[in-house]
Structure 1
Amino acid sequence: MIARLRRAMRWQSVPLVTGFAVLAMIVGTRAVLVENQRANRAAARETIEYQELLSGLLSMAQDAESGQRGYLLTGEKSYLEPYRKAVDAIPGQLSRIGAMTASDDQIVQQINHIKDALSQKQAEQARTIALYDKGDAAAALQLVRSGQGKAAMDEIRASMDTIRRISAADIAARDEQTDRVEAWLRIGSLAALLAIFVLGVYTIRESRRRFRDVVIGQEELMRKNIELGNEIQTREKAESQIRQMQKMEAVGQLTGGIAHDFNNMLAVIISAMNLAQRKLKRGEHDLEKLIEAATDAASRAAKLTSRLLAFSRQQPLAPQVVDTNRLVTGMSDLLRRALGEGIRIETVLAGGLWKTHADPSQIENAILNLAVNARDAMSEDGKLTIETANSHLDDGYAATHADVIPGQYVMIAVSDTGEGMSADVMARAFEPFFTTKPVNKGTGLGLSQVFGFVKQSGGHVKIYSERDQGTTIRIYLPRFFGPEEPAIPAERGDSTAKVTETILVVEDDAQVRTATTDAMRELGYEVIDVGSGQEALEKLAAAPGVALLFTDIVMPVMNGRKLAEEAVARQPGLKVIFTTGFTRNAVVHNGVLDHDVNFLAKPFTIEQLAAKLREVLDTK
């Protein structure tokens, strides 16, 4: 019984296999025929394009002839314009024709005839124009009447007619072949349709026997797919909720840290100002301690804001070409004062160290932050090592660190002999307000500031640490390629001399404007203050003696950058200082100050203001 079933199945499969073999042969033959037809059509298109190039060449030769004869008849130079354009275009046209010319002896021979005739024609035209330019118009016309140019043009036309006849015969042959191909295609299509019909009838008869099993299988598969889709959606919702909770937790932690620190600083400022007001009402003038306390709290608030901007990669950077070895050497005294006499400091500086392009003050801040963190992690007899080296982060390293671009970097490593970090602490070390130090011993923003600066500079930072073995933090800054631009020292005048300049202050916030103008008047400057860009331009027109424009960047209608451009255009040589608490794209692009921009970040002290004003005003 089983043997009979097997034989029946084998016999049933014979027609199916045979039919598919026939169908495959027909389809394959049809594909070959279609390709032949496509090749014929492409060849026909190329022939047409070739004919168009030849026609264009003839048109150029005729334009040159018309321009030559018009000039010889009228003497007007404008008639030579078509001649010159044609002479300039003919070599390119001949090059395109040559590139499309097949290795057909007859066509190549005719093209060579055309080239020779064109050379003769152009020589005759150039000679007649030269004779006419020398004043020998009779000789030029005599050369034209000699028939040399006409004979060359006749030879060009004759050769082109010969090429057209050859091409027309080739197109006709290809058209005949295409007709034959189309006839075979019709026959093949009918045969294919017949074969498909026969196989379809046979397939329908066979498929009815298995249709029920297929339907049942599909229904089962659909049910499982629906169950799987529901499970995927459930998991995605759960993962989305977890990610949102993590985001909200991070935002909450950041907000809480900011609120905590700012509330402490504001509490000091408000308390000091309230006490100062009470003492003034009582006629007491011992306010120095209160003012110092408020100023210190405001300064700490400004530093906190600066660190948050650094972490968010929004601080304005002023990058320069930096020799890191020289920078680290110059920090030795600062590091010894910051770390104390008990900490041993060792520097290991690489020979032939590459240059990097970064903000040198931020590099110093980063090294100082890392050194202070290392000091706090060590006992009094610890050892701090600062090392520099050339480093290459390859594709393998970049594959395991998603934020790294393979390439060459300048490496700065700060190592300590402290207690080290656990894996959990290393994972959170760069989070803002995360710290393992006791209360009131750290803000948790030092490493966050380092992380933000390095990332904003296109670099990479990595922590290596083991418990009770110490910690190494490596900073990788991109290598600088190109010539180093020498720093040009600003020429400064006598700082003790009485100031005489007039400054135009533009600030839309009335209280900030008042504070700034009072500080400048305290420094001895003449000050004109306005609240908008349009008012500033009006004042500038009325007071041409203004030496410097001190403008806020973020203002309605006309921002500081547009105001400065308009003001400098109206009064060349006007010095400009920009100021703001935060800006994204007016004078800072990709986190870097625009070239030749003088910038003073808010808030600033009167000493910082005085130094910046003299720096800009004394610069030639």
Structure 2
Amino acid sequence: MTHKSAPQQGDFNALRRIQLLVEKVADYAIYMLSPEGVVTTWNAGARRFKGYMDEEIIGQHFSRFYTPEDQLAGLPAKALATAIREGKFEAEGWRVRKDGSRFWASVVIDPIIDDAGTLVGFAKITRDITDKKRVKDALRETEEHFRLLVQSIVDYAIYMLSPSGEITNWNAGAERIKGYTADEVIGTHFSRFYMEEDRARGLPEMGLETARSTGRFDAEGWRLRKDGTKFYASVVIDAVHNDDGKLIGFAKITRDISQRMQLEETRAALEHSHRLESIGKLTGGVAHDFNNILQVIGGNMQLLINAVRGNEAAERYAQTALNAVERGGKLSAQLLAFARRQPLQPLVVNMGRVLRDMEELLRRALGEMIGVETVVSGGLWNTQIDPHQLENVILNLAINARDAMPGGGKLTIELGNSVLDDAYVTSTLDVPAGQYVMLAITDTGTGMTKDVLKKAIEPFFTTKPEGQGTGLGLSMAFGFVKQSGGHFRIYSELGHGTTIKMYFPRSHEGEEIIHAPIPTKVTGGTETILVVEDDLTVQQTVVEMLSSFGYNVFKADNAEGALAVLKAGVHCDLLFTDVVMPGSLKSTDLAKQAKAMLPALEVLYTSGYTQNAIIHGGRLDPGVQLLSKPYRREELAMKVQQILKGRERQAQTHAAMTMLAERGSASQADARRILVVEDNLDSQAMTCELLQVLGHSTASAANAEDALKILAEQHFDILLTDYQLPGMDGLTLARKAKLEHPLLSIVLSSGYGNVADAPELGAKILKKPFDLASLQKAIK
């Protein structure tokens, strides 16, 4: 039988040293528990921070160190069970001292197993880490407060990036400004917020690299929200390093400053608008005086030409002066356009048709080195504008573009429908949201710098050499667009050309067909005209011009003088008055009082600066006739003749209506759509008026070529055409029209009697001069 040897003295000494070591440790409570949890040993550390002496605690259950709530939850027993099951129990928690105070303890319990595998007790080590917990809690509290602070900020997007740019966290401000939730963006690259062109240029990577190398990157630029809209952002990226100096990511702060930018832009635009308004008032006033001067010079030159007929040198000198007056008149018209004081006569037109009619003129004006492309969208809306002023604007801008492409290039003119929504118009001052027709003119020329762009629409500003431009082309276009109720924008970049976009309000009315007037021989008359003009030099010139046409002319220096003439019993057929008159009685009031005395009196206004007397909303008041200064002798004669002839037509129409009151007009079922083709404008207007009185609807043309265009675009029941037309005659027109429109009825109007070949077309003959009954019979 083998016996274990008795313990040696050295072993006892070793055990004693360990016991003394444990006993003396003051920073740790190291003691033993029985298998049931009763304290069997107690060291100095236990005495120090638990407060019990050996005799007070040995033999007591260790659960007394636990808080009442932990005891109630059975934590002491669970700790021992865990130590047995897992070989160790480790935890932190509140413990209770002898005096009832609490401390935060770090606890380790190890089971003690003998060689036979029997549990003989537990070794328990407890450390007071209250101070450490306090620091840790303070740090956690600070971090939590910081987290709450960052999360509650809604005006700034604050988030972290990994060293490669992936988003690692996301605050409420980021969600509000950018529209993404944290789940949608965490783990994705922050470049998703940049514009496509900025990503292509590598701006996100450049921002990170700058922050990485210098510690900070800040900039402003456009960024994208989740819904695709963009906002102007102020961005700061800071590099974040750990205690060892290693880059662990980036802190990124983004602020939406779109509103601030809009306010700054609006303020600048308002200041610019006020400056342009002031310049406009000045230029309008200058144009008024300038036009009066031009009228005197031009009128006298035209009278002089008549007086020196046969003297070639004198005629040539006078004509040279007249040409200069005409150039001055155009300059003045451009000044009035910028000042928004030109008398517009708007019609409902399709701008595509205006542009197509100009294509040949544009190509001739621009030359072979400039390629011209016109793009007109299908279903183009109508708009109400002055078509002749529109043509001037397009031509002026095209010539400006040509000058910006000295080595040749391409000009693109585009027409399309456009909707300016609320989001767009918030950044503008004077354009309402709505539907517009957009006219864009784009060149591939030199472009403009930002400084030039700011001044581009100001009158007399030009970058061309002296003597090569007035600087009024763009300002005239701007004024015309604004006066038409539209919106004007310029986009340009140095070296990349220029685009000018003009937006005109959509009209829902039907298009009015435009007919070019056919020049007629200038004639006079024997009617009586009262001229009212305060500028005596202008007055004298006008009186002499009208007298040279055979008219009886009276004159007055102001409105009061004109009324005195009429009250004296002088019969007048036409009142020709300047708009801007001295004295308390305005020209419009003069016209009202004069017509009260003479109901059949016609009124013709003239002015170089209309102000608002007869123009409202940039348009002539209904029924108002205006001859703008300066005007040629022939223009004056034609305008007077037109007005006086119109009075005759009104009398004839009144007589026709009196007849129809007895006979009746066409019923709605019998009403026809009739195209009248007549080169004599007076006869054309009279025929249309009579047909309309008869209950029919009409359109008109002055030549066969225009008539064929109108027939191709609109439906008509009857073509009523004069036989003798300039260019293609009426019979040839009828053949072509019948070939294209077999159901079209033909009426040939002629002063020659019957027309050969008319029967083959099934045409009726309307002999000139015709009366109402003959006209009715022809169109039945």
What is the TM-score normalised by the length of structure 2? Answer: 0.42
For 1:391-470, what aligned pairs fall within 5 Å after superposition?
A: 391-470=418-497
* In 1: Cα distance, 2:491 partner to 2:501 partner: 8
The answer (yes or no) to whether the contact 2:349–2:513 under 8 Å persists in 1 is no
Give a deviation string over 1:445-482, Cα, whole Å, max 9, x none: 1101111111122111111223332221111011113x
Task: Tell me what 2:538 maps to.
Answer: 512
Q: Secondary structure at the match of 1:401?
A: coil
Q: Which moved more, 1:357-366 or 1:446-455?
A: 357-366
Q: Secondary structure at the match of 2:502?
A: strand
Q: 2:623 aligns with which of 596, 601, 612?
A: 596
For 1:5-16, what aligned pairs fall within 5 Å after superposition?
A: none
Task: Tell me what 1:390 maps to.
Answer: 417
Task: Tell me what 1:367 maps to.
Answer: 394
Task: Tell me what 1:94 maps to.
Answer: none
Per the TM alignment, residue 618 of structure 1 is displaced from its structure 2 partner at its CA by: 2.1
Equivalent residue letter for 1:371:
A
Equivalent residue letter for 2:536:
A
Q: 1:349 to 1:549 in 2, by over 3 A?
A: same
Q: 2:562 aligns with which of 536, 553, 563?
A: 536
For 1:202-241, what aligned pairs fall within 5 Å after superposition?
A: none
Give a deviation string over 1:204-235, Cα, whole Å, max 9, x none: xxxxxxxxxxxxxxxxxxxxxxxxxxxxxxxx
Equivalent residue letter for 1:317:
L
* In 2: Cα distance, 1:338 partner to 1:251 partner: 34
What is the TM-score normalised by the length of structure 1? Answer: 0.53
Q: 1:446 to 1:252 in 2, by over 3 A?
A: closer
Equivalent residue letter for 1:549:
L
Task: Tell me what 2:501 maps to.
Answer: 474
* In 2: Cα distance, 1:416 partner to 1:554 partner: 42
* In 1: Cα distance, 2:437 partner to 2:492 partner: 21
Q: 1:297 to 1:254 in 2, by over 3 A?
A: farther
* In 2: Cα distance, 1:450 partner to 1:415 partner: 15
Per the TM alignment, residue 356 of structure 1 is displaced from its structure 2 partner at its CA by: 0.9
Q: 1:338 aligns with which of 365, 385, 393?
A: 365
Task: Tell me what 2:56 maps to.
Answer: none
Give a deviation string over 1:332-372, Cα, whole Å, max 9, x none: 23222322233222211111111111222221111111101
* In 2: Cα distance, 1:362 partner to 1:464 partner: 23
Q: 2:330 aligns with which of 288, 294, 303?
A: 303
Equivalent residue letter for 2:572:
V
* In 2: Cα distance, 1:368 partner to 1:386 partner: 11
The answer (yes or no) to whether the contact 2:377–2:416 under 8 Å persists in 1 is yes
Q: Secondary structure at the match of 1:410?
A: strand
Equivalent residue letter for 1:300:
R
The answer (yes or no) to whether the contact 1:394–1:407 under 8 Å persists in 2 is yes
Equivalent residue letter for 2:584:
V
Q: Secondary structure at the match of 1:618?
A: helix
**Runs in 1 of length 4+ with deviation above 6 angstroms?**
243-256, 487-494
Equivalent residue letter for 1:378:
M
Equivalent residue letter for 1:474:
K
* In 2: Cα distance, 1:253 partner to 1:477 partner: 21
* In 2: Cα distance, 1:246 partner to 1:353 partner: 31
Q: CA RMSD in A?
A: 4.1
Q: 2:599 aligns with which of 558, 572, 575?
A: 572
Q: 1:554 to 1:363 in 2, by over 3 A?
A: same
Give a deviation string over 1:220-261, Cα, whole Å, max 9, x none: xxxxxxxxxxxxxxxxxxxx9xx99999999899989x99xx
More helix by share: 1
Q: 1:484 to 1:542 in 2, by over 3 A?
A: farther
* In 1: Cα distance, 2:436 partner to 2:274 partner: 32
Give a deviation string over 1:394-447, Cα, whole Å, max 9, x none: 112112223332111000111112122222222221111111111111011110
Task: Tell me what 2:692 maps to.
Answer: none
Q: Does 1:347 align with 2:374?
A: yes
Per the TM alignment, residue 295 of structure 1 is displaced from its structure 2 partner at its CA by: 2.7
Q: 1:434 to 1:575 in 2, by over 3 A?
A: same
Equivalent residue letter for 2:526:
T
Structure showing greater radius of gyration is 2
Q: 1:309 to 1:396 in 2, by over 3 A?
A: same
For 1:214-293, what aligned pairs fall within 5 Å after superposition?
A: 286-293=313-320
* In 2: Cα distance, 1:254 partner to 1:516 partner: 28
Give a deviation string over 1:286-310, Cα, whole Å, max 9, x none: 3344433433333333322222222
Q: Secondary structure at the match of 2:507?
A: coil
* In 1: Cα distance, 2:274 partner to 2:323 partner: 33
Equivalent residue letter for 1:471:
T
Task: Tell me what 2:529 maps to.
Answer: 503
Q: 1:573 to 1:405 in 2, by over 3 A?
A: same
Give a deviation string over 1:56-84, Cα, whole Å, max 9, x none: xxxxxxxxxxxxxxxxxxxxxxxxxxxxx
More strand by share: 2
For 1:140-219, what aligned pairs fall within 5 Å after superposition?
A: none
